[in-house]
Amino acid sequence: MSYITPGKVYLVGAGPGDPGLMTLRGKTLLEHANVVVYDALVSPAILSMIGAQAVQIYGGKRSGRHSAPQAEITQQLIQLAQEHAVVVRLKGGDPFMFGRGGEEMADLIAAGVPVEVVPGVTSGIAAPAYAGIPLTHRDYSSSVAFITGHEAVDKYRPSVNWQALAKGAETLVVYMGVQNLGRIVEELLQAGRSPDTPVALVRWGTLPEQTELFATLATVVTQIQVQDFQPPAVAVIGEVVNLRQHLKP
């Protein structure tokens, strides 16, 4: 407890779900927190680590089912920091990997609230690993890109440059991309990626209910429909997907 500073907000990465992947620092903070504001994708096994003394507040966000606007959640954290010694903002995966942790940290610092970030294992690395897919391999991929697939379809000037990514990285890892995968596939094919490029989708990665779908750029959209494959899932695009045949435990 000596290295926990009172009067601070801790942005803690909960990891991808498997409690064995939670960091020791994160676990210690959950055990001593006064209040924990947790996200939707934090697994029950991780929530069970929270000490009995802590107030638990749901602050999760899921597509189409947001509990509260981001600004409201940040304002809540500022208020809680004035009332409690140890406030934990528990975020799925890693706070800085498509978790809006950077935005929350900037707003907290601007409000004069001390903040510490505790990194977590991100699902974009853990889920493929549990499916037997290495993101890099000396013979198949020396580059990997992590991308959000959650941009609105009608967004003006999308910030993701799929044309550049198709040529710039051998392995693509797409977060939150199931709903927009049709548009993503179209962009990659237009940029010159082969229709035969292997694709893997890993749902609920690292958890007992983990499920996987394997296809190619040419077939993945149809396979999602046929199998009624639902989010949340991580997509891996690249030749490394084929290594699962040799590396899956």
Residues of the chain with pLDDT > 90, as a percent, come to: 82
Separation in Å, CA 124 to CA 111, 154, 173:
32, 25, 6
Instruction: Tell me what pLDDT residue 71 has.
Output: 83
Q: Rounded to an integer, what distance in angstroms lies between the CA atom of residue 14 and that of residue 95?
A: 9
pLDDT at 156: 47
- What is the distance between the alpha carbons of residues 58 and 66, in angstroms, rounded to a whole number? 11
pLDDT higher than 80, residue 154: no
C-alpha span between 125 and 132 (Å, rounded): 11
Return the structure tokens found at 43: 């697994």
Give the span between the Cα atoms of 231 and 61, in whole angstroms.
Answer: 13
For the entire predicted model, the pTM comes to: 0.90
pLDDT tens digit sequence for 26-67 = 999 999 999 999 998 899 999 999 999 999 999 876 555 555
Q: For residue 12, which of 111, 105, 75 has the smallest C-alpha distance?
A: 105
Q: Which residues are catalytic?
A: 39, 61, 176
Kindly list the structural domains of the chain, giving each domain's residue range(s) and its CATH number in brackets, ordered by start.
8-121 (3.40.1010.10), 124-247 (3.30.950.10)
